Structure 1
Amino acid sequence: MSTTAEETLPVQAAVVHRPTAADSGRMSRRQTLEALSGMLLAMFTAFLSSTIVSNALPTIITDLHGTQSQYTWVVTATLLASTATTPIWGKLADLFSKKLLVQLAITIFTVGSILAGFSHSVGTLIGWRVLQGVGLGGLQALIMIVMAAMISPRERGRYTGIISTVMSVAPVAGPLIGGLIVDTDWLGWRWCFWVGAPLAAVALVVVQRTLNLPVVKREVSIDYLGAALIAGGVSALLIWVTLAGNQFAWGSTTSLALAGLGAVLIVLFLVVEARAKEPIIPLRLFRDRTTTLATLASIAVGVAMFGGAVFLGQYFQIARGYSPTTAGLLTLPMILGSMIAATGSGMLITRYGKWKIYLVLGAVFLLVGFGLLSTIDHSTNMALLGAFLFVLGLGMGMSMQNLVLAVQNSVSAADLGAASSTVTFFRSMGGTVGVSVLGAVLASRVSELTDQGLATAGVAVPAGSGEVGIGSLNELPAAIAAIVRAAYGDATAWIFMIAGALAIITFLSVLAIREVPLRTETGMERAEAEAVSPNGNGSNGHRPPEVEVAAVAPPRPSPRPRQTPPGPAVHGTVSRADGAAVSGAVVTVTDHGGRQEGSAATGRDGTYRVTLPTGGTFLVVAASGALEPHAALVPVDGRPVRHDIVLSGGSGVHGLVTGDGVPVPDASVTLIDAQGAVAGATRSNGSGRFRIPGVPEGRYTLAAAAPGHPPLAVSVRLNQGRYTERDLALPARAAVRGTVLATGAVVDHALATLVDSDGAVVASAITGADGAFEFADLPAGTYTLTARGYDPVAQVVHVAAGTVATAVVELVPPSVERVR
């Protein structure tokens, strides 16, 4: 809406022209896949590099002379750093270029990986793993945010299989590749950190070439204090749960100090967030039921994702005696289950639009999978164990992506980054705390079972002998080493029992989530819509910050040139959101006391003019049928003031125009209401997509036409406040062409006739000098083709007895009238 010298009411629903689909955030499938390729490669590299050390850890710790506590810390350091920084990356994505942030995260992670490979002590290795974690926190948050910007929730299922496969395969394939590297003598464990560098370099190049998102400019206010508080608070709490009960007692001064410090920092963080202009984690998000419940449900998923990869590798190698490579292969059932569940559930969600059932099934499979794994020991049948892992993988595949999908579908576009990273944050938090706590439980249980086993074998156990070091396991006598290995195998069941208890929380949380229909707009489209709508578009009612969007103003109906009388008045045009003029709209002008000063109805070109007795500030109200009314305060001095008005509908339609399965660009798309009036019109863009906004709810006829295709018309129902997706498949043109022959020679001026299956003549044609004919623009079907040559000629011939009569017969072409 363009207004000269006016003050807009807070409740006004102003709407501006929306750019075409290509400009407003709707990417073609090919563009989406190209952009996904670079990001998924980066995600694969990060997840692979963060878990590739799992099966290699026993070898690394042995080579660097580490302990069980350090074993856990090598993994925990990365998880801690990624967890603490994930919400910060997410908020930055709401403020800055997402593409630049993705590239920065890849670079940080790659540098940390390369430096980790040069470590000569466990302490140095842990330090560089922290740097890896900072980059990993960015990637695991940003990639989901970018996907939400490119792909609508309803269409996400088409890509869920690819995304979830990477998210499932990389964390589990990492230990497999790590084991293979460790088993290869000429490589060594250091290549576990270096192998990802070339992949990261390729990912950087691909992201630069394929990821092209519009840069949204807005006023930036970074919550530095909130970022520092959440990073410090989370780190203090995670260090506490990791070291307590191992390096110091739970009730010790050190333990209480760490717990108290973490709690104080988190409380201060909440206070700061409640007052910050751009909070790292907007607390209003938790007023949304779906976001809160999905956050709780993410905890057990994190335990399954990270704890499974870490402790299963340790179980297979130490308790069962398998090589690192074999240990990785033994986790393949979990990968397979995750891939099947993610791909299948994604396709079904896109097809039917229902998503809650798959969250519930995923939680059930997680619960059952953890329950089954809690029964294993050092002698469990490997085939049975593989079945248990397959069940757990089904739960992971159905849960990981769909939890994020549910949250992204329920929040406003302005909060997509913060909301997505919040779910990822708590999933990582679950993984970090899970690995730390479960690692401490495992160490304690192993020590207890080892003492029992040694006592049973008659071996004296010195008091205060401390924990059993993995690095010293190979130095023990065979009999004692067997006792320790059995202790590891039996103790592993305990950690899965604890994970199963967390899975109960996940099940109850997803059961309570309320299912809402999936949106059909991408994050970029929603951001544009919210940028021009004061009420926003999110379910939480948050008004997004003012966004400066580069858009081309729609052409306004040009009024006929006329002399504008002097004196106070309000004049302008009334149009729809697509720029079409609205005729017959009533514009009323009142003063502050509610007294009417004048009114006018718009003409066919949408123009209006209301002459006022004096200057002042007036309330201008415009209404037309089912379109949303407009209200604005307009100050008027002693001369006319122009006030253009845009009336929007609460609905719209968008989709793809295809012909023979191929997108059709520049197709004419028209929306016609029940009275036969054109409610909106547009043309498909270069990718075949179209969009008609600002239409009242109701039933319409949607028609499309394009050169080379017969026109198509379909019925469509538009619901208030939502965009309806309706793809249009134009039928292909059919044609019949041929030649009329007689004894091998062409016949000109022959009549060819085409008759349909009902016996009606569809078309007829006269052959030319080459005997050719053609029928175009035919609907598909079965026809009867007939052809005949010259018209028959009749004449009277008199023959007398004994004479020979001579007759000349002249044939006339069927298109030529005989002249007698």
Structure 2
Amino acid sequence: MTRPQPSGIPYLGISGLMLGIVLGTLDGTIVGTALPTIAGELGGLDRLSWVVTAYLLTAAVSTPLWGKLGDLHGRKGAYLSAVGVFLAGSVLSGLAQTMDQLIVFRALQGIGAGGLMVGAFALIGTLIAPGDSPRVQAITGTMLPLAFAGGPLVGGLLTDHLNWRWAFYVNLPVGLAALLLVSLALTAPTTRVRARVDWAGALLLTTGILALTLLATWAGTTHAWTSPRILALTAVAVAALTAFVRVERRAEEPVIPPRLFRGRDFAVAQLLSLLVGAAMLAVMNHLPQYLQFVRGQSSTASGLLLLPLLLGMVAVQLATGRSVARTGRYRIHTITGGALMTAGALLLLLLDVGTPTVAASALTVVLGAGMGFLTQSTTLITMYGAEPRDMGAASGTLTLVRTLGGSLGVAVLGAVFTARLAGHDTDRTPAQVAMLPEPVREAFRAALTSGLHGVLLGTALLSALAFAAAWLVREVPPRRSGPPGPPAPPAPATEAGSGSAVPPPAGRPAPRPS
């Protein structure tokens, strides 16, 4: 097994890795404020959720595969390849001329994004000595919240002052700098770990989740529940996921090791991650549409108005990490998170056509705080609940589950949103809507507000389920002896949240796995 370098930090090379992490984090939120303008130019507001869903789906499924490819062919090469695929998808997305093209290119971009975070952390873990880890973690803990919270603002500025396509083109200079720094300034060990890529499991998982996503998007809206297409999708989803479970039990290196779910807290944490991922991505991709189409805000302003949600979430994540590190207690954070998320989603139902913009922005704080409690506590429970040999698999599973939650949440609640806009011409930009005759404009704004309410009701239901599931967490007292718990890497923004999880201080035992 490759050991970290004994001393010293290759700062230039690590900077390249950090740029890659920032790319993945920023791209999870930068597109949200550009979506209304994209829909107006390319048409197809009814398929707008797929711009997000395609990215999340391919990022989720490809994440564990990039990890295995790094083991087989070298982590530096795998990371550089992931950056290359991500940049190719970014450029093609910026060049897209139709909504269908954009969806396909976003899927390609997601494949690359799946390797950015896992590749960077794998290299950092390989190259950095334990004594230097706190300094690197401090850098990561500072950069990621800034990138996550700044994404909507940067996306809005680029859309307003250049073009929405620059929300994708901006990745090019950053990505090229990452490629150059890592290629020239980072020397990675050539030792490789023998591992087999679970292609069968990955294919079955992709098929099953894609069928579920299409089912969630079409059933009851585009097609009747009893239509042949919906029945066929149901059969494909059930067959693929059933076969996936069987394959994973026999696979030498499964995509999701079944043994991880023997601990109850680990299993509950994955359920909570799925729910919070679904709720967060759905809200973050539909609130900008309300702010721009209904409240008449610019893309830049809608990015600024999301900051209370994002900063509330990041602040709570950091506080939660420190609290768990200090006390070893985490159950109360999951329960509090579920309660605040439910209250926050219901509070946002106060939004209507005439709600003052500042009030609309301030109302998001409660929901953001609830998400912060849950994203951080589930990350810590996941990492503390895994054996050392399964730490990478546990992190990959959390990434996969949370991102899949976001994909399904955007698909299902996006279908609800679209259904409430039936009968309205949705191929307009916010500026074009503002120039419509007043009766038509007000009818459109009322319909869009109704669509947002549908999303928020779905979010409240998901949050209530998370609150109920949080009570199933069985808090286990810390060990009286043993090594400190492993540091939990920040969750990528594409999986619904980012923040530095703070490990227990040296000498303080971690909670014992359930």
What's the TM-score bracket when you normalise by the shorter of the two chains? 0.7 to 0.9
Tell me if the contact between 1:180 and 1:324 (Cα under 8 Å) persists in the aligned partners.
yes
1:105 matched to 2:69? The reply is no
TM superposition shift of 1:348: 3.5
Q: State the Cα deviation string for residues 205-245 of structure 1 (Å, max 9, x = none).
A: 34456766656544322222122111222122212222333
Match for 1:326 among 298, 301, 313? 301
Equivalence map 1:144-183=2 (5 Å): 163=140, 166-183=143-160
Match for 2:35 among 57, 60, 64? 57
1:114 matched to 2:78? The reply is no
Aligned to 2:18: 40
TM superposition shift of 1:380: 2.5
TM superposition shift of 1:718: 11
SS at match of 1:471: coil
Once residues 268 and 134 of structure 1 are traced to their aligned partners in structure 2, the CA distance between those partners, rounded to angstroms, is: 23
Match for 1:393 among 344, 368, 371? 368
Aligned to 1:335: 310
Equivalence map 1:582-597=2 (5 Å): none
Aligned to 1:671: none
Tell me if the contact between 1:302 and 1:430 (Cα under 8 Å) persists in the aligned partners.
yes
* Matched AA of 1:391: V
* Matched AA of 1:78: Y
* Greater Rg over alpha carbons, structure: 1
Once residues 269 and 126 of structure 2 are traced to their aligned partners in structure 1, the CA distance between those partners, rounded to angstroms, is: 20
TM superposition shift of 1:299: 1.7
Aligned to 2:446: 486
**Bigger mean CA deviation after superposition, 239-248 or 67-76:** 239-248
Structure number with the higher strand fraction is 1
Call closer, same or farther: CA 1:264–1:244 in 2, change over 3 Å: same
Call closer, same or farther: CA 1:347–1:489 in 2, change over 3 Å: same
Equivalence map 1:471-550=2 (5 Å): 471=428, 474=433, 476-513=436-473, 514-515=475-476, 517=478, 519-520=483-484
The Cα RMSD (Å) is: 3.6
Once residues 372 and 161 of structure 1 are traced to their aligned partners in structure 2, the CA distance between those partners, rounded to angstroms, is: 35
Once residues 485 and 5 of structure 2 are traced to their aligned partners in structure 1, the CA distance between those partners, rounded to angstroms, is: 8
Tell me if the contact between 1:446 and 1:487 (Cα under 8 Å) persists in the aligned partners.
yes
Equivalence map 1:661-680=2 (5 Å): none
Tell me if the contact between 2:13 and 2:182 (Cα under 8 Å) persists in the aligned partners.
yes
Structure number with the higher helix fraction is 2
Aligned to 2:226: 251
TM superposition shift of 1:130: 0.8
Call closer, same or farther: CA 1:149–1:376 in 2, change over 3 Å: farther
SS at match of 1:117: helix
Once residues 183 and 224 of structure 2 are traced to their aligned partners in structure 1, the CA distance between those partners, rounded to angstroms, is: 50
TM superposition shift of 1:165: 6.1
Q: State the Cα deviation string for residues 501-544 of structure 1 (Å, max 9, x = none).
A: 21233334344333454852768xxxxxxxxxxxxxxxxxxxxx
Once residues 510 and 213 of structure 1 are traced to their aligned partners in structure 2, the CA distance between those partners, rounded to angstroms, is: 41
Aligned to 2:243: 268
Tell me if the contact between 2:4 and 2:129 (Cα under 8 Å) persists in the aligned partners.
no
Equivalence map 1:231-310=2 (5 Å): 231-310=206-285
Call closer, same or farther: CA 1:134–1:160 in 2, change over 3 Å: same
TM-score, scaled to structure 1: 0.54
Equivalence map 1:129-148=2 (5 Å): 129-143=106-120
* Matched AA of 1:443: T
SS at match of 1:377: coil
1:431 matched to 2:406? The reply is yes
Q: State the Cα deviation string for residues 406-435 of structure 1 (Å, max 9, x = none).
A: 212222333222221111111111111111
Which sections of structure 1, spanning at least 5 residues, go unmatched?
Answer: 1-18, 448-465, 524-654, 657-715, 722-820
Aligned to 1:403: 378
TM-score, scaled to structure 2: 0.83
Equivalence map 1:176-191=2 (5 Å): 176-184=153-161, 187-191=162-166
TM superposition shift of 1:322: 0.9
Match for 2:387 among 407, 412, 432? 412
SS at match of 1:512: coil
Once residues 393 and 426 of structure 2 are traced to their aligned partners in structure 1, the CA distance between those partners, rounded to angstroms, is: 41
Once residues 406 and 313 of structure 1 are traced to their aligned partners in structure 2, the CA distance between those partners, rounded to angstroms, is: 32
Call closer, same or farther: CA 1:369–1:153 in 2, change over 3 Å: farther
Tell me if the contact between 1:94 and 1:414 (Cα under 8 Å) persists in the aligned partners.
no
* Matched AA of 1:58: P
Once residues 386 and 24 of structure 1 are traced to their aligned partners in structure 2, the CA distance between those partners, rounded to angstroms, is: 48
SS at match of 2:353: coil
TM superposition shift of 1:313: 0.8
Tell me if the contact between 2:281 and 2:406 (Cα under 8 Å) persists in the aligned partners.
yes
Once residues 124 and 377 of structure 2 are traced to their aligned partners in structure 1, the CA distance between those partners, rounded to angstroms, is: 13
TM superposition shift of 1:405: 2.7
* Matched AA of 2:111: V
Once residues 190 and 408 of structure 2 are traced to their aligned partners in structure 1, the CA distance between those partners, rounded to angstroms, is: 36
TM superposition shift of 1:120: 1.4
* Matched AA of 2:419: S
* Matched AA of 2:428: G
Tell me if the contact between 1:341 and 1:397 (Cα under 8 Å) persists in the aligned partners.
yes
Tell me if the contact between 1:408 and 1:419 (Cα under 8 Å) persists in the aligned partners.
yes
SS at match of 1:75: helix
TM superposition shift of 1:197: 0.9
* Matched AA of 2:298: S
TM superposition shift of 1:310: 0.8
1:314 matched to 2:284? The reply is no
Aligned to 2:197: 222
Aligned to 1:469: 426
Call closer, same or farther: CA 1:172–1:436 in 2, change over 3 Å: farther
Once residues 172 and 718 of structure 1 are traced to their aligned partners in structure 2, the CA distance between those partners, rounded to angstroms, is: 32
Call closer, same or farther: CA 1:250–1:207 in 2, change over 3 Å: farther
Once residues 124 and 334 of structure 2 are traced to their aligned partners in structure 1, the CA distance between those partners, rounded to angstroms, is: 20
SS at match of 2:95: coil
Call closer, same or farther: CA 1:152–1:370 in 2, change over 3 Å: farther
SS at match of 1:55: helix
Once residues 45 and 718 of structure 1 are traced to their aligned partners in structure 2, the CA distance between those partners, rounded to angstroms, is: 34
1:422 matched to 2:397? The reply is yes
SS at match of 2:113: helix
Q: State the Cα deviation string for residues 660-694 of structure 1 (Å, max 9, x = none).
A: xxxxxxxxxxxxxxxxxxxxxxxxxxxxxxxxxxx
TM superposition shift of 1:70: 2.2
Call closer, same or farther: CA 1:93–1:243 in 2, change over 3 Å: farther
Call closer, same or farther: CA 1:270–1:119 in 2, change over 3 Å: same
SS at match of 2:428: helix
Match for 1:368 among 314, 326, 343? 343
Q: State the Cα deviation string for residues 99-148 of structure 1 (Å, max 9, x = none).
A: 33332222211110011111112221111111011112223444566667
Equivalence map 1:692-703=2 (5 Å): none
Aligned to 2:55: 78
Q: Structure with the greater relative contact order (CA < 8 A, sep ≥ 6): 1 or 2?
A: 2
TM superposition shift of 1:494: 2.5
TM superposition shift of 1:326: 0.9
* Matched AA of 1:125: L
TM superposition shift of 1:175: 2.9
Once residues 265 and 72 of structure 2 are traced to their aligned partners in structure 1, the CA distance between those partners, rounded to angstroms, is: 24
* Matched AA of 1:381: P
Call closer, same or farther: CA 1:512–1:143 in 2, change over 3 Å: farther
* Matched AA of 1:61: A
Once residues 71 and 478 of structure 2 are traced to their aligned partners in structure 1, the CA distance between those partners, rounded to angstroms, is: 24
Once residues 40 and 451 of structure 2 are traced to their aligned partners in structure 1, the CA distance between those partners, rounded to angstroms, is: 21
Tell me if the contact between 2:3 and 2:126 (Cα under 8 Å) persists in the aligned partners.
no
TM superposition shift of 1:492: 1.1
TM superposition shift of 1:168: 4.8
* Matched AA of 2:338: A
Call closer, same or farther: CA 1:155–1:371 in 2, change over 3 Å: farther
Once residues 186 and 264 of structure 2 are traced to their aligned partners in structure 1, the CA distance between those partners, rounded to angstroms, is: 33
Once residues 431 and 53 of structure 1 are traced to their aligned partners in structure 2, the CA distance between those partners, rounded to angstroms, is: 15
